[in-house]
């Protein structure tokens, strides 16, 4: 859960018997200024956090046993002005960030072993985007 006002995000575990949520040890975790959206790769290996005011995206690895996030080397990555949302493709090869101020969507290629993001292009939008979906 992104906390826009506190510049952090919270992580939770799911009780497998009841479905109840429990805040993770060490939560909340630091992010950039005004984190606005979170997405986890389909592999469960990476967590992406858009930071609305610092105009970037933070990338974290997720520990396979505990789920605890650790920011990768080189993070955060530039994301245009006003990155409001993030989503990943089902194959965990690409990440997309929608920018409210720039009225565009940045596309990134994910380096599988490091999580490093490389910008591959942008697509203009007509309005300030707050969310989107992908069709495959």
Domain residue extents for the chain = 34-124
Predicted local distance difference test score (pLDDT) of residue 84: 92
Q: Grade residue 130 by pLDDT with cuts at 50, 70 and 90.
A: low
* Residue 122 and residue 104 in contact, taking contact as beta carbons nearer than 8 Å: yes
The span from the CA of 57 to the CA of 84, in Å, is 10
Q: Grade residue 8 by pLDDT with cuts at 50, 70 and 90.
A: confident
The span from the CA of 40 to the CA of 19, in Å, is 19
For the 34-124 domain, the top CATH level (class) is mainly beta
* Parallel, antiparallel or unpaired: strands 21-23 and 117-124: unpaired
């Amino acid at each position: 859960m992104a906390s826009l006002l506190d510049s952090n995000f919270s992580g939770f575990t799911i009780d497998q018997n009841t479905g109840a949520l429990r805040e993770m040890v060490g939560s909340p975790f630091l992010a950039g200024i005004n984190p606005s959206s979170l997405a986890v790769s389909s592999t469960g290996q990476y967590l992406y956090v858009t930071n609305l005011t610092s105009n970037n995206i933070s990338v974290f690895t997720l520990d396979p046993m505990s789920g605890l996030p650790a920011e990768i080397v080189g993070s955060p990555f530039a994301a245009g002005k006003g990155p409001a949302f993030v989503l990943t493709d089902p194959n965990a090869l690409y990440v997309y960030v929608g920018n409210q101020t720039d009225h565009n969507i940045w596309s990134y290629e994910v380096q599988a072993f490091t999580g490093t993001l490389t910008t591959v292009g942008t697509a203009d939008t007509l309005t300030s985007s707050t969310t989107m979906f992908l069709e495959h």
